[in-house]
Amino acid sequence: MGTSRGKALLLIAAGSVIAACTSPAPPAPPAPAPPSAPIEAPPVESGAPDAALAAYDSFWAVSQRALAAPGTKDWTPELEAVASGQALDAIQSDVDNFADYPAHNEGSVTRDPVVDSATDTTAEITDCVDLSDYLLIADKTGEILTDTANQVPRFRYRAHVVKDESGRWLVNRTTPALDEPC
C-alpha cells in the first residue's frame, strides 16, 4: 500500500508539474496606452508677432534718438514707453553715461529682425545688427570714441518682448551676442 500510495503521490506531483508546464501562459500585460497628444503652445494671437516686432522697432528708434542726443532732455518717459526690465535699465544707463561724458552716437544701424517664437503675451526676436556706420563721438572734441579696429561690426542680437497688463508690447530683455557674427 505504501507503494501504491507513493505512486499516487508521484502521479499527483507529476500531474501538478505537467499542469504547471502546460497550463496556458498568464495573459500578456496590457498594451501600453497610446502616447498622449503632444503638448502644444497656447494659440498665438494672430497679430502677436507683428505687434512684438513693431514694439521692437520702436525700441530701436527711440534708443537711437536718445543716444544721438542724450543730454538734450530726459529720455526716461520715451524709453519707458518702449522698454521694461533689463532692457530699460540697460538703455537708460547708456543714455545717462553718454550724457555725463558727454558724447553721442552718429550714423545708422542696419538691422534684420525675425520673430523666432510668439505667444499671446511674449515673443523672442533674433536680429542681425550692423554697427559699421554707427560711431560714438565726444561732444567737446569731436573725437571718435568707438574702437573701430576692435569692434565687432555685425552680430546677433536677441530680444524678449512682453505684453504688459495694459496691452502694450515692450522690449523686456536684450542680449547682444558679440561672439555670433552674422
Q: 7-16, long-range: CB within 8 Å, 24+ apart, which pairs?
A: none
Q: Is the pLDDT assigned to residue 13 strictly greater than 70?
A: no
At 57 the pLDDT is 98
Domains annotated on the chain, with CATH: 48-177 (3.10.450.50)
Contact residues for 27 (Cβ-Cβ < 8 A; gap 6+)? none
The more confidently predicted of residues 131 and 37 is 131
- Dihedral over Cα of 148, 153, 156, 160: its sign: positive
Percent of the chain predicted with pLDDT > 90:
71
| Cβ(56)–Cβ(157) below 8 Å | no
11 three-state secondary structure: helix
| Cβ(162)–Cβ(122) below 8 Å | yes
Other residues' Cβ atoms within 10 Å of the Cβ of residue 120 = 14
Question: pLDDT (tens digit, 9 = 90+) per residue, 78-109?
Answer: 999 999 999 999 999 999 999 999 999 999 99
pLDDT band (50, 70, 90) for residue 46: low
Mean pLDDT for 43-50 is 73
The more confidently predicted of residues 43 and 157 is 157
Choose among 151, 118, 154: nearest CA to 43.
118
At 135 the pLDDT is 94
Question: pLDDT (tens digit, 9 = 90+) per residue, 149-167?
Answer: 888 899 999 999 999 999 9
